[in-house]
């Protein structure tokens, strides 16, 4: 059986500079972690467990010295990658729950805020990176489109690129709003199921508080596309749950035991209807926000959420194709083909240089000669890469 190793630590050696000299902390640590498996590092205090874990995350103290070894994650040595590359891995792929909450959590800030802070910051950073990459590729596409069809088309192509960017932003805003409401509805379904299950097991619950919390979250489901044809039902069911909460009386304890919750049949029915309604909103046909984003950009005053979603999707797609996308794709195809053919011609000149360099490095050479040739060759190889190609060779 072939092991799928997600993490490999090989002969790791770590020391620390101190006022009394170099302190050897970790010596020749090696272990493998298979994908989907659990691996425990056990040892007495000061044996190097935390140091090893921090080395994997790249968060060792400034006086640390990594004297040797490798930390391979998915085949990539984490000790040799840049901080920018590590930033993409740390938190998303590898994370750490620290053992001492008093040193990790701020006692005057709510725990929920502290726990979610990293996720929010990471998400914002990922969005910034994605937006920057999108703008970079869009600019590159524009220049290749112009080169392919001629400079006289620059004004038209620049205007089309600007329009494409604008309606993509509009589509993203619409979809983010929809996703927020969809996520809220999904959480309500999950919470109702858990609440009803706990009640069926006669668990002690704060019924009134739970119902009021569900109503509070239902009122935040406001996206017009998500609530289309359901807004009145959501409002009606919210009022019904509040009424159930106001009428509820907790059962009294019997024989000195703490009583569990026995929900009225009307409350269970109301919660079941809310659950079905939330599922119905989630399962309905999803709007095509890419097409709708363009339609809304050109028709800002039209109330699109009142149009049945299937009809709206067809209408928006037809409008986008006729008004913009068919022509844009024609320019785009020419630009992508131009980028490919230009890179292909450059590759033809780079390949002989690579072969020449291979022979050079197999022989005798001075360091200065090697560095100079490497610098020139790197620039040639870089220029031969088609940056518009999705999968790069």
Give residue-wise pLDDT tens across range 28-56.
Answer: 999 999 887 889 999 888 888 989 999 99
**Which residue's entry shows tokens 């009803």?**
196
Neighbour-count burial of 145, counting CB atoms closer than 10 A to its CB (0-12 exposed, 13-18 middle, 19+ buried): buried
pLDDT confidence of residue 199: 87
pLDDT confidence of residue 268: 93
Provide the token pair at 183: 């996520």
Cβ contact 350:384 at 8 Å: yes
Condensed to tens digits (0 to 9), the pLDDT of residues 339-365 reads 999 999 999 999 999 999 888 888 888
What is the C-alpha to C-alpha distance for residues 145 and 151, in angstroms, rounded to an integer?
9
Nearest of 142, 138, 133, 137 to residue 335 by alpha carbon: 142
Cβ contact 175:289 at 8 Å: yes
**Alpha helices, DSSP H, located in 32-153:** 49-57, 83-89, 101-104, 111-149
Cβ contact 324:163 at 8 Å: yes
Condensed to tens digits (0 to 9), the pLDDT of residues 224-239 reads 999 988 999 999 999 9
What is the C-alpha to C-alpha distance for residues 386 and 354, in angstroms, rounded to an integer?
18
For 103-110, which contacts have Cβ atoms below 8 Å and span 24 or more sequence positions?
none
Nearest of 124, 143, 121, 120 to residue 132 by alpha carbon: 124
Cβ contact 252:259 at 8 Å: yes
Provide the token pair at 9: 């630590």
Is the pTM higher than 0.95? no
Q: What are the counts of helices (DSSP H) followed by strands (DSSP E) for the chain?
A: 12, 4
What is the C-alpha to C-alpha distance for residues 48 and 14, in angstroms, rounded to an integer?
9
Going 118 to 121 to 127 to 131, the CA torsion angle's sign is negative
Q: What are the residues facing 9 on neighbouring strands?
A: 31, 71
Condensed to tens digits (0 to 9), the pLDDT of residues 269-313 reads 999 999 999 999 999 999 999 999 999 999 999 999 999 999 999
C-alpha radius of gyration, the chain, whole number: 30
What is the C-alpha to C-alpha distance for residues 3 and 367, in angstroms, rounded to an integer?
41
pLDDT confidence of residue 82: 86
Mean pLDDT of 190-213: 88
pLDDT confidence of residue 1: 42
pLDDT confidence of residue 304: 94
Condensed to tens digits (0 to 9), the pLDDT of residues 291-300 reads 999 999 999 9
Cβ contact 178:186 at 8 Å: no
């Amino acid at each position: 059986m072939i092991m799928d190793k997600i993490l490999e630590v090989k002969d790791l050696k770590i020391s620390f500079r101190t006022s009394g000299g170099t302190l050897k902390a970790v010596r020749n640590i090696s272990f493998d972690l298979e994908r989907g498996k659990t691996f425990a590092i056990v040892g007495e205090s000061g044996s190097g467990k935390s140091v090893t874990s921090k080395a994997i995350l790249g968060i060792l103290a400034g006086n640390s010295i990594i004297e040797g070894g490798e930390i391979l994650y998915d085949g990539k040595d984490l000790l040799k990658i840049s901080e920018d590359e590590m930033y993409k891995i740390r938190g998303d792929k590898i994370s750490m729950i620290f053992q001492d909450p008093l040193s990790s959590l701020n006692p005057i800030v709510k725990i929920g805020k502290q726990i979610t802070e990293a996720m929010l910051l990471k998400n914002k950073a990922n969005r910034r990176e994605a937006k920057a990459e999108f703008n970079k590729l869009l600019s590159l596409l524009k220049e290749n489109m112009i080169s392919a069809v001629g400079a006289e088309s620059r004004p038209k192509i620049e205007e089309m690129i600007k329009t494409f960017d604008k309606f993509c932003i509009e589509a993203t805003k619409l979809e983010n709003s929809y996703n927020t409401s969809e996520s809220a509805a999904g959480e309500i379904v999950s919470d109702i199921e858990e609440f009803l299950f706990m009640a069926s097991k006669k668990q002690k619950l704060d019924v009134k508080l739970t119902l009021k919390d569900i109503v509070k979250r239902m009122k935040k489901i406001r996206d017009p596309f998500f609530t289309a044809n359901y807004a009145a039902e959501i409002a009606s069911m919210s009022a019904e749950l509040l009424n159930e909460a106001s009428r509820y009386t907790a059962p009294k304890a019997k024989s000195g035991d703490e009583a569990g919750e026995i929900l009225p049949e009307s409350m269970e029915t109301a919660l079941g209807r809310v659950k079905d309604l939330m599922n119905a909103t989630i399962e309905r046909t999803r709007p095509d926000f890419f097409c709708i984003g363009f339609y809304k950009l050109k028709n800002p005053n039209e109330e699109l959420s009142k149009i049945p979603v299937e009809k709206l999707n067809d209408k928006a797609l037809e409008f986008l194709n006729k008004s913009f996308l068919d022509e844009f794709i024609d320019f785009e195809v020419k630009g992508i083909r131009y980028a490919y053919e230009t890179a292909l011609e450059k590759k033809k000149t780079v390949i002989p240089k690579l072969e020449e360099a291979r022979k050079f490095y197999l022989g005798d050479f001075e360091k200065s000669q090697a560095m100079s040739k490497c610098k020139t060759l790197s620039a040639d190889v870089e220029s031969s890469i088609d940056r518009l190609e999705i999968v790069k060779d």
